[in-house]
Amino acid sequence: MLKNKVRELRARHEFTQSNLAKMVGVTRQTIGFIEKGEFSPSVTLALKIAQALQCDINEVFWLEGEE
């Protein structure tokens, strides 16, 4: 299962969901559902989010348990 700490890192940068969504070119809902772990982003979007949060992608997203 794909886990992430987008919410935590976003809060650290004091970004709102809307800010981050705008930076990576998606809707606010998408960021919300990624944070809740209910939607797994594509590799491209995951990379964009990591870039926007100025982190390595492995710090933001990781696999946990069995796929």
Partner 1 sequence: MKGDMRYSYPLWQMGFIVLLIALTTIIGFTADYAKSTDSFIFQFTLEGDSFWYMAAWLAVLVFYMILFKWKLHQHNKRNPDHQMKFTSFKPQEYMADDELFEEVTRRATQKAYSYFTVALPLLATMYLILPIGKFGMLNALLLLAIGQYFVYYRTIRRYMAEDAV
Enclosing H/E stretch for 26: none
**Least gap, CB of 33 to partner 1 (angstroms):** 6
**Least gap, CB of 10 to partner 1 (angstroms):** 12
**Least gap, CB of 64 to partner 1 (angstroms):** 21
CB nearer to partner 1: pick between 41 and 53? 41
The Cα–Cα gap between 48 and 34 comes to 13
First-to-last C-alpha distance (Å) of the chain:
5
List of E strands, 1-67: 2-4, 61-63
Residues that bind partner 1 (CB under 8 A): 17, 25-33, 35-36, 39, 41-42, 45
